[in-house]
Every structure is written in C-alpha cells, then in structure tokens.
Chains A and B, each alone.
Chain A
Amino acid sequence: MRAPLAVAFAIAFGWIVLAGYFITDPLLKQLQSVLLGWAVVLAGIAALVAILNLVGVHWRKLSRGGERDLLSLVMILAFIATFAAGVWLTPDHAQFKQAVTAIQLPIETSLLAVLAVSLAFAAVRLVPRRRNWMAVVFVLSAALFWLLGSGVLTMVGSPPGLGGLSGVLERFTLAGGRGILLGIALGSLTVGLRVILGQDRPYRG
C-alpha cells in the first residue's frame, strides 16, 4: 500500500513542477513554489541525516572490538567541537569563519598541489608505460596546450598559422563539450520522463 501511494505522490508532484515551467498560472506557480520549498527542507534534513550517519559509522568503528580506528575518534571530536561552536557562536561569527577556513582551505589546496605533482610525474612516465601512438599524441597535444596557455609562443610574434591552429583547437574543444552536454541533456530528459511516468521508481526505497 505504501509503494503505490509514494508513486502517486511522486508522479503528481513531478507533473505539477513540470507544468509550472510552461504554464504561467498564478495558482500553479504558487503550488510549484510550495512544493519546491518542501523539497529544499527535505534536502536539508537529508544532509543532516547524512552527517549523523557519518558520525554513526565512525562511532561503530571506534567502539568495535579488536582494532580501533583512532582517526574516527579525532573525527567525532572535531565534529562535536565544530557543531558546538557553530551553535554557540553562529555560523556568521568571524572567528568561527576563520577557524573553518584556516583548516579546510589549506588542506584542500594542498591536495590540489599534490595532484599537480602527480600529473607532472604521470606526464613523464606516460610514454614509457604505454608505448603506443595514442600516448605519444596525448603527450604532444598536452605539451602544445601548455605552451599555448603559458603565452610564451607570443614571444615570437604571430607565427603564420598559429591563429588558425588556435581556432581549430577551440573548435575541437567546443564540439566535444557540446556533444557531451547534449548527451547529458538527453539522458536527463529520458530519466526525468521515466520517473514522472512511473517507469523508474528510485523513491521507492
């Protein structure tokens, strides 16, 4: 009994929101706004549930017998401290913002720096590990884009054909990007229609 009710609600709400995009009826717009508000609240609650689930996982890893993961203890303690500070100081507090950005921002930036080093190492090892023409073409094209992006080729003025080459490369990029986006759009449209028509029921749980 629960599954048919959920399917009926999902399909009805989906059709209402979709109709709000095409029909400029005030009542329909109002109804669409209310439904979207509910969805946003539910999304926020879902994020909170996800956080609690994450804490539970680390709690189980910490409380299980045998090997205990002490990093889980660090995570739980950090979560409790941040949550308490956020509730007590509010997220708009300057010190609270500074404390968060002073930890999160350098960590994520360092990860990207390590990624840069790894990519450089992979560029060196690419051809020795894959001895084929595709690897050679990939390395040469990457080197060409790096040189073009650095602007050092402008040092020699405007070489004949360079502008045309840049235009061709941009066309390749544009064509590839547009093809990917069209594919994604068609896939999203298909999935959306299947959900609205009740053929796919990811909300059944």
Chain B
Amino acid sequence: MCGRDNPEEAEICGYCQARLRPLQAEPPSEVPAAETGLDWLEDLRRYVPEEAHQETDEVKAETEPGLPPQEGAEWLERIGLGESPGEEGIEGAALQDAAQAVAAEEGQPAFDPEEDQPGGEVEPGAEAESGPAGELQPEAGAEELPEWLIALGAQAQMPGAEAAEEAAQEEQPADAGSEIPDWLQAFEAKVAAPESSLEESQPFTAQEPPAESGVETRGAEAAEMPIEAEGVSAAAESPDWLRALAETAAPEAGAAVAEETTAGGAAEELPAGEAVAESPPPSAAEEEIGWLETGALAEEISAAEEPTAALEGLAPAQLPQWLEALRPPEAALPSAAEEEVEPGSGPLAGLAGILPLKESAVPIRKPGGYPLDLQASEKQRLQAALFERMLVEEAQPTAAPAARGLPRQAWLRLVIALLLIGLVLAALLAGGANPFAGLHPAAPAAAASFYHQVEALPTGVAVLLAVEYEPGFAAEMRFAAQGTLERLMQKNTRLASVSTIPIGPVLAEQLLQAAHDGLAARDPAAAGEYALAERSASLGYLPGGITSLQEFALRPQQATGYIPSLRMSGQPAWEHPALKGVSRVSDFALVVVLTDKYENGQAWIEQVAPALAGAPLLLVTSAQAAPLLQPYLASGQAQGMLAGLAGGEAYRDLSQGPGGASARWAAYQFGLLLAAGLALAGALAEAGKAIVRRRRQSEGWG
C-alpha cells in the first residue's frame, strides 16, 4: 500500500504492515480439488445413496413448488456450501454500510467493495479468463468435478448471490415464479423515478437498510451485493415488466452510475434486486446470455444520460473573462487516466479503476519506525559535549593549590602588623618625648561637664561604680577612668562596685587597685591616707541583666543578697564600712557607669537613673560606645561622659592642666596616624593604578 519494495517472499509489508498477498484462496485452476477441501463433497456425493438424493429433491419440490427438481437440488447444495460465503456476504454488507456512512459524511462517493475487492465484481469478459484472485476457474472444475460441483464453485465465488437468494426467500418464501401483483408494479414504477435523481450522490440508495430488524436488513443488503453476478440470471429470466422498468429508469439514471457500473450493475438497482430475489436462479448458460443483454441495456442507459440530449435547447453559458483567467489550464488538471491506478501487487493486484491511495477517505497506515538517533547539528553536538564536560568537572573534587610561601596579601598584612607594633612600642619606650607630645584634641563639653560633676562632689560621700565592660576593653577603660578614680580617692570617697558581667567584680577590683597605684605614684600622701580595702566594697555580680538592674534600683540590698561569696566571707556586703548609711540607690552621691557597650549604659540610664533621686550619673565609655550614648547626654539623662582614651586625656588635662604627656597617649596617637596613612596610601595607590591603566589603554598598550 505504501509503494515500497519488499522481499518477494514477504506476505506483509515491512513499512506499512499491509498484506502483500491476498487471503483468498489460490485459483482452483492451479490447486487440485483435494487441496481446496472440496474433495469431501465428492466423497459425500459418491457415498450418499440415490434415495437420499431423490428424497432431497422431493423435499425441495415441496418447499419450492415453482422450481424444477434439478434447480432445487442445486439450490439446496448451494445452501450447504454457501454458509461460509453467506457470512462473508453479511460481513461485506457491513463493510459496505460503513463505507457508505464515511462517504456520506465526507461527501465522497461511497466505497464500493464490489469494485475494490477481487472477485466481488464479475466481469463478463473476464470470467472466462484467469480472473483475479479468489475466482474459481470453470475450466479446471469442468475437467475434474461433476457439473453440480462446478455450479457450487461458481456460487461460492458469489457469496452475495446466495445470500440474496436467502433474503429473497425470507421475504417471499413461496410462489417465487408467480406474477408480481399490480400494486407492486405500481410501487416500483413510482420508486424508480425519484431514486434515479439520488443515485448521483448515493448510487446505492437501494441498498439502504429499511431500518427494521437486523436480520432483514442484512438479508436485504446481501441481496444487493451480487448485483453483477445476479444480473446474468436477471437478464436471462427477467420478465417483461422488469425490462420495461429498466428502460424507463435508464434515462433518469445518473451519469456516474452509468460510467462506473457494469451493465448488470446498472440494471440491478432496487427493482432489479427485488426481481432477482423473486426470480428463480438461472443456469450458467442463461446467465451468460442475460449478462450480455444487460450490458446492452447499460449502453442504452449511458447513451440516454448524455447531457447534450437533455440540454440541447439551452445556450452554453459564457464565463466572464476574469473567471476564465482563473480557470486552471487543462494540462494541470489530473486526467482520468492518471487517476486510475492499477496496482501491481497487493490485495488489489490486477484491478483497474480503483481509487488512488492518496484519495482514500481514511488513509490507513502504520507509522514507520522513527530513528532513535538525535538529529543534532555539529554545533549542537559541540555544545552538548562542552556541557557534559562541565558537569563531569563539577563532580570531580579539585585539588587545593599547593601553598608556595606566603601570598601577597599575607605579606601585606604582616607588614602592617609589624608597623603598628613597632610604632606603639617605640612610643611607649620614648614616653612623652615625641614630636606630637602635648597635642590633645579640645576637651569636649561632655568631658568638661564630667569634670565639674566630680569636682562638685563632697568629700567622703558614697560613690557607686558600675563596671560593665569585658576584659578585652580593660586597658582602654582603665586609662579612661583612672584619672577620675584617682580624683575620687583624693576626695576620700567611699567606692562601691557592682556589675552585671560575671567578671565585672574582678575587673572593678583591678581598676581600683590600678587607680590607687597611680595615685600613689602621683600623690603618695593622698594614696597613703586612702585605705583601699576599707574605703571600697564590691557588691558583686547581678545576674539577670536589665531585670536585676531594676531590682537593684528598687531594693539594692535584696538584689545583691544572692552573692554567695559575700556571705561566705563572713561579712555581708551592706555591712561594709564603705557602705555605711547606704541602703538605697539614692543614698549614693554619684553613680559612674563604666561600659564598653551602649546597651549597658542605656540600661543603667533607663533603669537606675530614675531611682537616684537627683544624684548625677556619669558615663565612662569606650570610643565605640560613645556616639550612641551622646543623645542621653544631650537630653540630660547623663550629666557627663568620658569617651575612650581621648576622654581620659581630656579629664587629665582638665584636672592637672595641659602639658602632661603620657606614653600611652603617644602610642595611641601613632597608631591613629599610621592607620590614617595606610588608608590614604591604599586609596592613592589604587588611583595611581587606575591612571596608569587608562593611560596605557589610551596609548593602545592594553
């Protein structure tokens, strides 16, 4: 069906799965009767007693009194052999119905199984020759088989004929040879005329089922199947009324039917089919004669259907010039000869005039095997290979590059560290002997306020120190607060320390000891008079953060009563001489908060300062916490602040006068200058690189 070449021994097309060899049996001329399975009939005929034959003939004569005994026997034998063909005829009728339904839907001519199937149509001239597959050769059967078996074989080729007989017998089982009643003749005369106009679009309108019971429908359809085959007998024994009817219906038949159908087919429209069913089956010789007569009748019908005869009086239509220009040339139109395809192989081999495959209503083909290889271009293959290599490389662990000495940045980092350490050590060793000695920034207003608050403090009062910084900031906080603590010791104040940091009490003790040592170095008399152990007390650690500060502000003795060390030492903290007369927070004359984080200073200002009852709260902070604590200073919630080492130096300048230079301040200065110089150097180096790069690009080097 697909037109591709296949091996000669193949039975099914390897491309479209179409059967290359027909399923029909080989012509009996080439196959002996024993192989066709008909030998049993011969044996059966041989062993059946003669009485049985006579009995059968008598029974047939009784059931069909119009038939002669010989014809009745053949009819009975045909039934015996026609079971299988009869079924095929029914199936063929079903297929014909389906084809008509498809054709009706698509507006195409109905599929005619009698034209497409080999053997379905019996050409008068081709019947004597070696016809298509499936047709039995009468010559071969005449030599070896008896006459009645040859008749059976001929009937086996025409399954529709036997089914038509059965259907006809079902409709009119008796009185087959009687005359047709007048009412039926009148009905047929009426039906033939209107149906002829419909035959152009539905050439087999007479085969439409009457929409009654299924058995009757199939019987009627089967009666229409062997139109050409039955046409022989119909023409031979057709009565006068049938001939008259055919002559009357012929001029009104469609042109398509006249071209395609054979003579028998043209004569075997609805009335003819019924006539066949009513007439007794003819013999083979009579069929030959009838076929020829029917062919002549078809020629007459075709001649009568010429349009020129009917349209003689009409003037030919004149198309406009523009419409003529649109008309395709005659050469481009497919000719009828081109459309007719005669396949050389397959189940339709040898049949002429079949519809080409391209015009089939339902193209049936099995999809061929699609190649599994990806159709990709060379570029796509390269990209796929690249992507695959990338995936493989991603999955593989990459070995760490071997360290070849210190990288460039490590060298730079090392140089910077050495510069910082060297400068700080040099400044510490040099003491105040440096070019920048004595250069201090102007004391901020917060430092001045702090100084004035401390100076305004009476002698011998209780001062609370909140040590809220980590050990890492101990150096900065110590130098920031040392001047203040020394001044408080000079004023003989009682110092109490408390902290919300676990290591705070220890740092507070170290801070006081460092301040006392500094005071001893600067003013030994004052340091001698100030007994640190008696004038200072540690309230310990306050767990709970802000919560404990709130409790400490409300009830300080209860808040610090959880400190086990104070109890285990045998002396309650609040009974220490430094805290004599102090039971509330408001009993402290001054609160100094030393913190490295703004959160701690914020907590003291918000939680404790309201409970001080007017006592000042001063802040000593690290440089990093000062900016966020300045708003509290500006709002008056804190009365003074010293920020970092610079704040400590500012207080020292305020308390002792300018000119005093310390080694630590010098080291701090050098460190700041070195940091500023490095940052500017890095920026300038990058700017120089950018300038050189642009110059090279402008000169075309890069």
Chain A residues in the interface with B (C-beta under 8 A): 29, 32-33, 36-37, 39-41, 43-44, 47, 90-92, 97, 100-101, 104-105, 107-109, 111-112, 116-121, 123-128, 131, 136, 139-140, 142-143, 146-152, 154-155, 166, 170, 173-174, 176-178, 180-181
What residues on A are CB-neighbors of B680 within 8 Å? Answer: 139-140, 143
Q: Does B436 contact A (CB under 8 A)?
A: yes
* Residues of the A chain whose Cβ atoms lie less than 8 Å from the Cβ of B569: 90, 92
Q: Does B550 contact A (CB under 8 A)?
A: yes
Instruction: Tell me the nearest residue of chain B to A39, going by C-beta.
Output: B547
20 pairs of residues in contact across A and B, judged by CB atoms under 8 Å = A37-B558, A40-B544, A40-B559, A41-B562, A44-B543, A90-B565, A92-B568, A97-B509, A109-B474, A123-B678, A124-B416, A124-B679, A124-B682, A139-B680, A149-B646, A150-B439, A150-B672, A154-B442, A174-B630, A177-B628
Let me know if A105 and B627 touch, CB within 8 A: no
Residues of A within 8 A of B412 (CB): 121, 124-125
Is B676 close to A, CB under 8 A? yes
Quick check: A154 and B439 within 8 Å, CB to CB?
A: yes
Chain B residues with CB below 8 A from A154, complex form: 439-442
Distance of A173 Cα from B673 Cα, bound (Å): 22
Nearest CB of A to B563, in Å: 9
Give the chain B neighbours of A40 by CB distance below 8 A.
Answer: 542-544, 547-548, 551, 559, 562
Say if the beta carbon of B177 comes within 8 Å of chain A.
no
Residues from chain B with Cβ under 8 Å of A118 in the complex:
413
Nearest opposing residue in chain A for B543, CB measure: A44
CB within 8 Å: A-B pair count: 182
Q: Is the CB of A104 within 8 A of B674?
A: no
Chain A's closest residue to B644 (CB) is A149
A177 to chain B, nearest CB (A): 5
Chain A min CB distance to B659 (Å):
13
Q: Which of A142, A152, A155 has the most CB of B within 10 A?
A: A152
Beyond the given A123-B675, A177-B628, could you list 14 further A-B residue pairs with CB under 8 A, ordered by the A residue number? A37-B551, A108-B472, A121-B412, A124-B416, A125-B409, A126-B683, A128-B686, A140-B680, A143-B676, A151-B439, A154-B439, A174-B631, A174-B634, A176-B627
Do A92 and B565 have beta carbons less than 8 Å apart? yes
With A124-B412, A149-B672 already in contact, the answer to whether A33 and B555 are too (CB < 8 A) is: yes
Which of B562, B568, B602, B672 sits near A44, CB closer than 8 Å?
Answer: B562
Main secondary structure of the interface of B (DSSP, over half): helix
The answer for the CA separation of A108 and B471 in the assembled complex, in Å, is 6
Chain B residues lying within 8 Å of A146, measured Cβ to Cβ, are 672-673, 675-676
Distance of B497 from chain A, by nearest CB (Å): 13
* B293 part of interface (Cβ distance < 8 Å): no
Residue of A125, A149, A181 touching B631 (CB-CB under 8 A): A181
Question: In the complex, what distance in Å separates the CA atom of A33 from the CA atom of B553?
Answer: 10
B669 within 8 A of A: yes
Q: Is the CB of A105 within 8 A of B474?
A: yes
Cross-chain contact B672 with A124 (CB below 8 angstroms): no
- Cα separation A131 to B669 with both chains bound (whole Å): 29
Q: How far is the CA of A123 from the CA of B441 in the complex (A)?
A: 23
- Name the A residues within 8 Å of B630 (CB-CB): 170, 173-174, 177
A43-B545 CB under 8 A given contacts A124-B679, A143-B679, A146-B673:
yes
State whether A180 touches B544 (Cβ < 8 A).
no
Distance (Å) between the CB of B476 and the closest chain A CB?
9
A136 to B684, CA, bound (A): 10
Taking the complex as formed, is B475 at the interface, i.e. its CB lies under 8 A from any CB of chain A?
A: yes
Distance in angstroms from A162 CB to nearest chain B CB is 10
Q: Does B566 contact A (CB under 8 A)?
A: yes
User: B442 — nearest CB in chain A belongs to which residue?
Assistant: A154
Contact B548 A108 (CB under 8 A): no
Q: Which residues 464-518 of B have a CB within 8 angstroms of A?
A: 470-475, 503, 505-507, 509-510
- The answer to whether A127 and B474 touch across the interface, beta carbons within 8 angstroms, is no
